[in-house]
Amino acid sequence: MSAALFEPYALRSVTVPNRIWMAPMCQYSAEPTGPGAGVAGDWHFAHYAARAAGGTGLILLEATAVAPEGRISPYDLGLWNDTQTEALRRITGFLKERGTVPGIQIAHAGRKASTDRPWLGGAPVGPEEHGWQPSAPSPVAFADGHPVPHELTVEEIHEITGQFAAAAERALAAGFQVVEIHGAHGYLIGEFLSPHSNRRTDSYGGSFENRTRFALEVVDAVRAVWPAELPLLFRVSATDWLDDGGWTADETVALARLLKEHGVDLLDVSTGGNAAGVRIPVGPGYQVPFAARIKAETDLPVAAVGLITDPVQAEKILADDEADAVLLGRKLLRDPYWARRAARELGGEVPTPDQYHRA
């Protein structure tokens, strides 16, 4: 029997050549200001090209901001102007040449915006370091030492919804075949979902219906401009890992059913990120049970992520029907050729560049 990891997977008109996908991971390597702000450069090209040459089936580019103030850091990629769109075409063109499906995650960081690069500590930065005041559903700081965010008005919420749609249009112009909406890790959409961060009393806060309203409006706005033949993904944190007052796995299952109705094709299932200082039981495949539950209880396909590092482990997740694909993060930072090694170990196959055949 052939390994499930190396079976193609169809999403609408797009067929991904295998089930080894690259999770979005910010590189914090764009210029912070000026005409190069948010623009992909040589580092981004080399980084993603290496993973494509390594046989990765789908590459989801890092959280790419729909507006300048939606960046996690001043050094993030953006998709709010034509210069950024044009620079990304170089990457998508190469990925397609290698048989890899190019995808991109579009995002707004909400109250977790305006922070430094992680290797410099990741603390909030002010205007003197190219920073700005973050915005959020409610004026509740993410953690001690973080600024109290500006509480978004309903008009501003609608404006951000439009920014997501505009970014999706630019993603299409840049050559991407998959777009993923970032609703996880305590960034803006996830902040609306969770009562831990959403204290609103209007139609965007309180009940499950109200807290999911912004997420569904963003999905609808993106789906309206994203071609019907191309897939739309949504990343969710399945739990805040809080005993009380947070977003829960039960709510994630309910949201998954709604996302399916609104045109989402696959749920990228992660956890956490919205509450500081929580204890998370991290271990190999620790988030897979959340993906498995959604797959078992809904009709929405899922991808699993979280300390999936070993080919046999990844194959078992698919063979046990716990997910439809696996997303690798840090492991692909360490090893761009993980898919090629997995193919050798499991008897699968990924395309080898002509230039490497003699090796």
Question: Annotated catalytic, 187?
Answer: yes
Please classify residue 240 by burial: count the beta carbons closer than 10 Å to its beta carbon, then call 0-12 exposed, 13-18 middle and 19+ buried.
buried
Query: Backbone phi, then psi, for 294, in 5-degree steps?
Result: -60, -45
Q: Are strands 9-11 and 14-16 parallel, antiparallel or unpaired?
A: antiparallel
Residue from 9, 75, 187, 204 carrying the catalytic annotation:
187
Cα–Cα nearest to 145, from 122, 117, 119, 118:
122
Helix (H) or strand (E) run with residue 51 in it: helix 42-53
Nearest-angstrom CA–CA distance, 92 and 183: 23
Distances 73 to 115, 239, 267, 355 between C-alpha atoms, Å: 5, 24, 25, 37
Give strand pairing partners of 9.
16
Structure tokens at 109: 């960081």
Please identify every residue annotated as catalytic.
187
